A = this chain, B = another copy of it.
Amino acid sequence: MSIIQVYKCLCDEQRLRILNLLKEGPLCVCHLQELLGEGQVKISKQLRYMKELGMVEARREANWMIYSLPQPTNPLLIENLQCLQDCAAEDLHFANDLKERAKLLKAAQHSEGGLPESVACGAGCCE
């Protein structure tokens, strides 16, 4: 994956928000959809684009597709997400997205549908 490709990936607000969310832990498409307030098709396309670049990876779990950041995560990406926290968190809804993520996961966990196993509060949601 080239440097240029990484930056191309970072050129889109939705993708930045997705990366920020995935940094906290894996999520499935429908959660991203809900958190970004965006249609399924568009999210799916973004994820495909990102997957082709190797910026995210996916695995199926029952009906869900679980997306996550590959480990170890590209240092250029980490740096940028960190820097964005500091210098553009508000513009990008970063902080709020994370708050909503926690809420959403907590709620989903206690609902009938439940959560995909590897999403379930995996990373610092419920304790």
Binding site for B on A (CB under 8 A): 2-4, 7-8, 10-13, 16, 75-76, 79-80, 83-84, 86-88, 91-92
Contact = CB atoms under 8 A, between A and B. Distances in A.
A3 B92 contact: yes
Given A4-B11, A4-B12, A79-B80, 13 more contacts: A2-B91, A3-B13, A3-B88, A3-B91, A3-B92, A7-B11, A10-B10, A75-B86, A76-B80, A76-B84, A76-B87, A76-B88, A80-B80
A84 B3 contact: yes
Contact of A8 (B11, B84, B91, B92): B11
Contacts of A2: 91
Chain A: interface secondary structure? Answer: helix
A80 B10 CA distance: 12
A22 B3 CA distance: 19
23 contacts: A2-B91, A3-B16, A3-B84, A3-B88, A3-B91, A3-B92, A4-B11, A4-B13, A7-B7, A7-B10, A7-B11, A11-B11, A75-B86, A76-B80, A76-B83, A76-B84, A76-B87, A76-B88, A79-B79, A79-B80, A79-B83, A80-B80, A80-B83
